Amino acid sequence: MTNESGPPATQPFLGIESSCDETAAALLDGNGRILAEAVFSQTESHARFGGVVPEIAARAHLGRLPPLVRGVLREAGVEPRDLAGVAATAGPGLIGGLVVGATFAKGLALGAGIPFLGINHLEAHALTARLPGLFPEPPAFPYLLLLLSGGHCQCVAVHGLGRYERLGTTLDDAVGEAFDKSAKLMGLPWPGGPHLERLAAEGDARAVSLPRPMLGREGCDFSFSGLKTAVAQAVSRGHRHADIAAAFQASVAAVLADRARRAHSMLPGATALVVAGGVAANRAVRAALEAATPLRLLAPPVRLCTDNAVMVAWAGLERFRAGQRDAVALAPRPRWPMAELQPPAG
Residue ranges of the annotated binding site are 121, 125, 147-151, 180, 193, 197, 282, 307
- Which residues face 218 on adjacent strands? none
Coil, helix or strand for 215?
A: coil
Residues 6+ apart with CB under 8 A from 295: 144, 264, 270, 271, 272, 273
Binding site residues for substrate, as ranges? 147-151, 180, 193, 197, 282
Say if residues 54 and 96 touch (Cβ distance below 8 Å). Answer: yes
Q: Which residues neighbour 327 within 8 Å (Cβ) at sequence distance 6 or greater? A: 1, 2, 116
Q: Residue 287 phi/psi, 5° resolution?
A: -65, -40
* Torsion angles phi and psi, residue 238, rounded to 5: 90, 15
Nearest to 196 by CA among 147, 241, 153: 241
Half-sphere exposure of 213 (CA within 13 A, CB side): 21
Q: How far apart are the C-alpha atoms of 172 and 271, rounded to whole Å? A: 29
What single-letter amino acid sits at 126?
A
CA 343 vs. chain centroid, Å, equals 20
Annotated binding site for Fe cation: 121, 125, 307
| Strands 85-91 and 13-17, bridge-based pairing | parallel
- Cis omega (within 30 of 0) on the bond before 92? yes
